[in-house]
Amino acid sequence: MAQKDVGNKVPIYKLKTTKEVMDYYDEWGENDKYNKDMVDWNYTGPKETVNTFLKYEKNKDALIFDAGCGTGLVGSELKKFGFKNFHGADLSQKLLNTIPLNLYKKLLRTDLNKPINLKDNTYDAIFCVGTFTFGHVKPNALDEFLRITKKGGLICFTINEGIYKNYGFDKKIQELNKTNLWSEIEFFKSDYIASKDVNAWLGLYKVK
Ligand SMILES: C[S@@+](CC[C@H](N)C(=O)[O-])C[C@H]1O[C@@H](n2cnc3c(N)ncnc32)[C@H](O)[C@@H]1O
């Protein structure tokens, strides 16, 4: 999210530490406020990313990791299309606690800026929606996503346009394209939070 997104809250770009980000979301989750704001702002990130994924993944039993799952908006979208095997991870335990019971098969409290405590080649697909944004998760998380995804699996993410170059996502993606570890299937500017004039790059990559 960008500073334009957050109404009367502290501007998100001012958050410096992981603890500040966590406290921010812990508070935003209270009284269903995060979900209500996402409806009010017509936040389309989860829907757009899942719609893109549907073009390439036909196996409804696919095991999916939702990195930075928040209140579970990606999981709700996946469920609409018959996917049922997904795990979620997030920094904010309070947001994880708001997720409807039985939506995700497993939930982990995780800092995605650190090595992820999961085995190599575990998942058929990774989602990371709304989480590559100001002060949140850095480009190196893509290395971990590659590690935990099976060969032939898909990695789908949004990157807030405001940090794409500033945080070095452009260079990281170019590097990974050169290494032959994945191939780019989709990369385009998505609506994301068009109502707030905030767009995001949406990428979908196939692991080789
Ligand atoms: C804008 S929300 C997106 C949540 C959800 N994916 C969605 O689309 O509604 C960003 C999420 O990133 C999480 N987050 C921020 N920094 C993180 C980190 N270092 N590790 C894990 N999650 C983080 C926040 O707790 C929050 O749930």
pLDDT digits (tens, 9 = 90+) for 54-77: 999 999 999 999 999 999 999 999
Report the length, in residues, of the chain.
208
For residues 157 and 3, give the distance between their C-alpha atoms in angstroms, rounded to a whole number: 20
Report the run of H or E that residue 51 belongs to, with start and end.
helix 45-54
Exposure on the CB side of residue 89, measured as CA atoms within 13 A: 20
Q: Considering the chain, what percentage of its residues have pLDDT values greater than 70?
A: 95
pLDDT for the residue 10: 61
pLDDT for the residue 9: 56
Q: Are 160 and 139 in contact (CB under 8 A)?
A: no
- Cα of 54 vs centre of ligand 1, distance in Å, is 22
Per-residue pLDDT at 136 exceeds 50: yes
Q: Which protein residues touch ligand 1 with a CB less than 6 Å away?
A: 1, 18, 21, 25, 45-46, 68-70, 73-74, 90-92, 95, 110-113, 129-131, 136-137
- Cα of 70 vs centre of ligand 1, distance in Å, is 5
pLDDT single digits (tens) 88-101 = 999 999 999 999 99
pLDDT for the residue 13: 75
Per-residue pLDDT at 141 exceeds 60: yes
11-15, 141-145, 155-159: the lowest-pLDDT one: 11-15
Task: Kindly report the pTM of this predicted structure.
Answer: 0.96
For a pocket test of ligand 1, which of 49, 86, 131 has the largest count of ligand atoms closer than 8 A to its C-beta?
Answer: 131
pLDDT band at residue 162, thresholds of 50, 70 and 90?
Answer: very high
Give the mean pLDDT of 5-23.
75
Per-residue pLDDT at 4 exceeds 70: no
Give the mean pLDDT of 168-184.
96
pLDDT for the residue 180: 86
Q: Considering the chain, what percentage of its residues have pLDDT values greater than 90?
A: 90
pLDDT for the residue 169: 98
User: Atom 1 in ligand 1: which residue has the minimum CA distance?
Assistant: 130
DSSP-derived 3-state class of residue 187: strand
pLDDT for the residue 12: 75
Give the mean pLDDT of 172-194.
96
The overall average pLDDT reported for the chain is 94
For residues 157 and 172, give the distance between their C-alpha atoms in angstroms, rounded to a whole number: 14
Domain 20-207: which topology? Rossmann fold (3.40.50)
Per-residue pLDDT at 172 exceeds 70: yes
Of the chain, the end-to-end C-alpha distance in Å amounts to: 31
